[in-house]
Structure 1
Amino acid sequence: MSDQFSASEHLVGYLYQIRYALFILLKKIRDESGIELSIEQLDDVAFERQGEPIELLQLKHHISKKAALTDSSPDLWKTIRVWSTQIAENPNRFNEVILTLITTSKAPELTIPSWLKRDEHRDETKALNNLISIANKSNSKTNKPAYDAFLSLSDQQKIMLVSRIYVIDGSPNIRDVESKIAQEIHLLSRFPGSLKSRLEGWWFKIVIDHLMSDEYNTIKGVELQRKIYDLQDELGKENLPNDFPEILEMDEEELSENERIFVHQLRLILLGKTRLRIAVGDYYRAFQQRTKWLSEGLIYPGELERYESYLVGEWRRQFEIMKEDMGDTLPNQDRMAELGKNLFRWFETNNFTPIRPSYIDSYLSRGSYHLLANRLRVGWHPEFLERLGHLIAQAANQVS
């Protein structure tokens, strides 16, 4: 159980770094859009300006609320070791760099961490003297590499190191940081929850690409600003977010029986296998997207009903034209399938009807037609109702 807890703590710690980095960058770009950020390169998190580090951050997250940051805390000394090593290797680079230790633990009064906070009790001299004393006298095997790294610095380097360190204790945990992010963006959209969830989803993808890169790179604050602007546009009155942008092909077996009526419709007009798989993908994407919009309150049922009524109206116009072209004599089966395929082709390629003026992805209208076809409100074959009407009754019986 202890190993499992330790693994969980480490995993949460990594996720904490990613989420906290977003929180800090959101705050910093309010004043400086040119700021850049890196994760797990110069430090846990680092901020740069024009290629030079301006702040290095060590983040310590603890699941237990009882954790304390004391004079002998491994969290403190691991951090000291990291920064001491960096100063020893490149002393000139860190003369003006702020070194910030962010921890969910609390620093008790009259301790080294408490003297390094950014408040009226800050006392760099006391902190330095106690660091030297502990490093010389302590028998801690865990902290010994950190003691050695710190003591190897020159007196001037020790003074410089301590002068650059700032401890932020009692920081919000990984759940509370999510709330802090929400507070940062709550005035940016009518739907701050939707903006936050999409922004975090984008952020995690960006960080993964950042961490997987073989070359040194940074995440630019301007990228975050542009993404926020894009999401603001998507969540505006004239638009909606597209959460399923990837073209999808699916087998009909991935749908329930009640969801395959539109597939029977397409089989009546002898649609090919590949186009059938694409149609199933459009159906699924449209269903998922509409459900997500409704669950987030981004769209109302009445708006979807009006949209569907418009689609049905457009279909009816073209369906009646097809019936007139057939004439009074019912054509043979192959001809009816051909007419139905031509009708479907028209809707598939020409009838892009956006649900809102600025929403540009056409799969929603195609998928919505499949949803309507699944309820037999629209159809492609001239005799679709006569041939498939019994499926609606079967589906109703299965539900009841």
Structure 2
Amino acid sequence: MTSTITDFSAKEPSLGYFYQIKYALLVLLSHSKELDNPKVRIENLDDIEIEDINTLQLLQTKLHIKNKANLTDSSVDFWKTIRIWSEYINNGTIDLDSTIFNLITTEEIPESSVLHKFKKNITLDSEVLEVIKVLDRIAIESTNKTNEKAYLAYQSLSLENKKNLIKRIRILDNSIAITEINDKIKKELIFSTYPSTIDAFLEILEGWWFAKSIENLTSQIDNISSSELQLKIANISDSFQADNLPNHFPIQLEITDEDVESLKERNFLKQLELIKIKANSRTLKRAISDFRRAFEQRSKWLRLHLLNPDEEEQYDVKLFNYWKNIFDIMCDEAEEKSIEELIELGKGFYLEQFAKSCPQIKIREKFNEDYLTRGSYQMLADSKKIGWHPNYKEDL
């Protein structure tokens, strides 16, 4: 058996980005209880930035997965962060009097380190001056080339600004690991859904959060607000009620010609071929999209135990009964028709009844997504339980 050496140094930065985005969600959830409609920005002034009408908090997140080391006085993580904050103070980017500076790290601060003092608020002037004395000495005497620019940035601060900065720094060490962050988020959501559906709930919320984070990172939106997050949570909560279901596949799929080619032997496409729906047409590609979304959605509901198999079966019965009623009417009209007329009759039946419009048959009262109905009909067509051409059973 070949052994593989895992390169943590390559994985760490990638996981760091995921950690940062997940931590931003946790921060907004937890701070929404105490701040006035706070707003989060990612990779703006800092890794995470949260502000309300009165305060701005900058959060620098440091994830380490290879070794759980100590955060020492000369730590690169600490001094790199100090450099960023010092430059913001010097160039007037931030208002020092209304800003709180947070360093979130999975490392541990030993009690012997001056950084240990930042685990709580430093308020006494004597203690502030003591910390400044130690940091000044490190900045002057250290030969660490990696921290050189950080030392210079810190030393360029006035004594008054150093005092204000020291009073406003908070370090949270031994922070939650990336494998633990979901549990913390779920605790914040504990009253948003049933205990049995919390994992499914978080999966939907995370999907939305990552999409919003990308919009923020690409400057499509300026921030993500607490009120927006609250509205989304309420919306997801509603989808988990007894008369509703969550929608995991809200976006129409882009179907390529290659997708069509790979599925050409499926019965539901052969059924459309019988009524001369053109290969690679938008109508046919829409049918494939509906089929895939409905299949994946129904499978996901069953896998997450959100849908009872009996309920799914009853839904298919309702779909079949509706189809059978109008199919029989079409078949009455099909008597003594030519081959070409039968094709046209079947094509009109499909387009008018199932493509241009959609039967209002719901799996649950408040779930109103047409793709589920249309796609479920394609699934029934794939199993030959229904069809569009009057003679589909004989012609397939």
Relative to the length of structure 2, the TM-score reads: 0.89
Instruction: Summarize the alignment of residues 153-232 of structure 1 with structure 2, pairs less than 5 Å apart.
Output: 153-190=157-194, 191-213=197-219, 217-232=222-237
Give, in whole Å, the separation in 1 of the partners of 2:292 and 2:128.
Answer: 61
* Residue aligning to 1:346: 353
* Residue aligning to 2:326: 318
- Whichever residue aligns with residue 137 of structure 1, its letter is E
| CA drift at 1:313 | 0.8
Give, in whole Å, the separation in 2 of the partners of 1:372 and 1:184.
Answer: 41
1:106 alignment partner, SS class? coil
* Residue aligning to 2:34: 31
* Residue aligning to 2:302: 294
Percent identical: 39
Residues 54 and 241 (structure 1), Cα distance of their counterparts in 2 relative to 1, 3 Å cut = same
| CA drift at 1:94 | 0.7
CA contact (8 A) 2:264 2:270 kept: no
Give, in whole Å, the separation in 1 of the partners of 2:300 and 2:358.
Answer: 26
Q: Indicate yes or no: 2:315 matched with 1:307.
A: yes
| CA drift at 1:121 | 12
- Give the stretch that moved more between structures: 350-359 or 244-253: 244-253
Task: Point out where structure 1 has 5 or more consecutive residues left out of the alignment.
Answer: 389-400
CA contact (8 A) 1:115 1:126 kept: no
1:334 alignment partner, SS class? helix
Give, in whole Å, the separation in 2 of the partners of 1:269 and 1:361.
Answer: 26
* Residue aligning to 1:84: 86
1:246 alignment partner, SS class? coil
Task: Point out where structure 2 has 5 or more consecutive residues left out of the alignment.
Answer: none
Q: 2:117 aligns with which of 104, 115, 126?
A: 115
| CA drift at 1:247 | 2.8
Residues 188-231 of structure 1: CA deviation (Å, up to 9, x unaligned): 1121111111111111111111111178x222111111111111
- Whichever residue aligns with residue 131 of structure 1, its letter is L
Residues 25 and 243 (structure 1), Cα distance of their counterparts in 2 relative to 1, 3 Å cut = same
Give, in whole Å, the separation in 1 of the partners of 2:5 and 2:309.
Answer: 50
- Whichever residue aligns with residue 312 of structure 1, its letter is F
Give, in whole Å, the separation in 2 of the partners of 1:299 and 1:136.
Answer: 66
* Residue aligning to 1:370: 378
Residues 216-257 of structure 1: CA deviation (Å, up to 9, x unaligned): x22211111111111112222222222222333454323374
Give, in whole Å, the separation in 1 of the partners of 2:25 and 2:94.
Answer: 29
* Residue aligning to 1:21: 24
Residues 70 and 179 (structure 1), Cα distance of their counterparts in 2 relative to 1, 3 Å cut = same
Instruction: Summarize the alignment of residues 98-109 of structure 1 with structure 2, pairs less than 5 Å apart.
Output: 98-109=100-111
Q: Indicate yes or no: 2:48 matched with 1:45.
A: yes
Q: 2:261 aligns with which of 253, 257, 268?
A: 253
* Residue aligning to 2:243: 238
CA contact (8 A) 1:37 1:220 kept: yes
Q: 1:9 aligns with which of 9, 12, 17?
A: 12
- Whichever residue aligns with residue 351 of structure 1, its letter is P
1:101 alignment partner, SS class? strand
CA contact (8 A) 2:103 2:171 kept: yes
Give, in whole Å, the separation in 2 of the partners of 1:350 and 1:104.
Answer: 53
- Aligned CA RMSD, in angstroms, stands at 2.5
Give, in whole Å, the separation in 1 of the partners of 2:123 and 2:164.
Answer: 19
CA contact (8 A) 1:244 1:289 kept: yes
Give, in whole Å, the separation in 2 of the partners of 1:306 and 1:27.
Answer: 42
Give, in whole Å, the separation in 2 of the partners of 1:153 and 1:205.
Answer: 39
Give, in whole Å, the separation in 2 of the partners of 1:322 and 1:124.
Answer: 86
| CA drift at 1:108 | 0.3
Residues 204 and 92 (structure 1), Cα distance of their counterparts in 2 relative to 1, 3 Å cut = closer
Q: Indicate yes or no: 2:137 matched with 1:130.
A: no
Give, in whole Å, the separation in 2 of the partners of 1:124 and 1:302.
Answer: 67
Residues 135-175 of structure 1: CA deviation (Å, up to 9, x unaligned): 22222111121112112212221111111111110001112
